[in-house]
Amino acid sequence: MCRQEKDLQDGIGRQQAVVRTLNLAGEEVIEQSSTADASVLKEKLGSLNFRWKEVCRQLTEKKKRIEEEQNLLADLQNNFNKLILWLDEGSETVRIPLEPGNEYQLKDTLEKVKLRVEELPAHKGILKRLNEAGGKALGSASLSPEVKHKLDTKLKEANHRWIKVSKDLPEKQKEIEHVLNNLNQFEQQLGQLQLWLSPIKEQLELYNRVGQPGAFDIKVIAIKDMEGIGQDEIQRKIDVGHPGNGVCEFTVNTHLGVRWAHMTSTYFCELKKLTD
């Protein structure tokens, strides 16, 4: 309540006693006056009481309206704080850096992002209520231009940030799911390569045994196996996991990095043995 309205409210309280005194005095005068004078006094006293009641009614309505607006502004601020807090948390989730090749970190981040995505509809409802209440408050004639400007600025900020976060979160989810899918494909390709190399290695060990019957045929078969698969195909499988290829990047200290390094080393070692 502004100073002017408070002064008016205090004045009403003080003048209430004056009006009561005037009514009591007027009734005594009317009783002692002639019929004509009494009629004139009654009319003036009635007009005074009517105007007094109208002033009191208007002030009561204005006081009620101000209280409703204050409650509305309080609810607006409360919802605004809740939404901004959630938007801050959502933005932090979007900014979590991904660690390609670290399946645990990727899945943990994906769960955090999914949780925020699931919360989008509820907070969209909060934003809707915020805009509706804000529009009502901005249309109030009793709010000062300064208050309206601050409120309008806050509403624009909330809507702008909502547009960004509600777009970034689903995109982050798709990005992580894509990386995890590539990671799974690469693991499968590593497994296939390992399945192919294992029997070749066993055949070579058998070939290296001195005096083993059929050893020469085994080496010929192994070379044909490698030629059948095709060096280009094996090289492609190896290159899939090479850091920096844009398909499934990972750091060398991850378990996939170690497996990739071991498999490439084994492949080229066995290739050399077969062709020597």
| Mean pLDDT computed over 111-138 | 94
| Mean pLDDT computed over 54-58 | 85
In the predicted structure, residue 48 carries a pLDDT above the cut 90: no
Per the domain annotation, does 61 fall within a domain?
no
Q: What percent of the chain has pLDDT over 70?
A: 65
Per the domain annotation, does 68 fall within a domain?
no
Which of 251, 231, 230, 226 minimizes the C-alpha distance to 241? 251
Per the domain annotation, does 51 fall within a domain?
no
In the predicted structure, residue 213 carries a pLDDT above the cut 80: no
Question: How many angstroms separate the CA atoms of 255 and 274, rounded?
Answer: 28
In the predicted structure, residue 139 carries a pLDDT above the cut 70: yes
Of the ranges 72-81, 112-121, 173-182, the best mean pLDDT one: 112-121
Boundaries of domain holding 201? 180-275
pLDDT: which is higher, 14 or 84: 84
Which of 204, 216, 202, 211 minimizes the C-alpha distance to 272? 204
pLDDT at residue number 45: 84
Q: What percent of the chain has pLDDT over 90?
A: 28
In the predicted structure, residue 41 carries a pLDDT above the cut 80: yes
DSSP string, 152-213: HHHHHHHHHHHHHHHHHHHHHHHHHHHHHHHHHHHHHHHHHHHHHHHHHHHHHHHHTSTT-T
Question: How many angstroms separate the CA atoms of 108 and 157, rounded?
Answer: 30
In the predicted structure, residue 220 carries a pLDDT above the cut 90: no
Structurally, the chain folds into a number of domains equal to 1
Per the domain annotation, does 74 fall within a domain?
no
Say what the pTM is: 0.62
Per the domain annotation, does 217 fall within a domain?
yes
Per the domain annotation, does 270 fall within a domain?
yes
Of the ranges 45-49, 130-134, 184-188, 249-253, the best mean pLDDT one: 130-134
Per the domain annotation, does 123 fall within a domain?
no
User: Is 223 in contact with 274 (CB distance < 8 Å)?
Assistant: yes
Per the domain annotation, does 54 fall within a domain?
no
Of the ranges 37-46, 126-135, 176-185, 230-239, the best mean pLDDT one: 126-135
In the predicted structure, residue 58 carries a pLDDT above the cut 80: yes
Of the ranges 50-54, 65-69, 112-116, 136-140, the best mean pLDDT one: 112-116
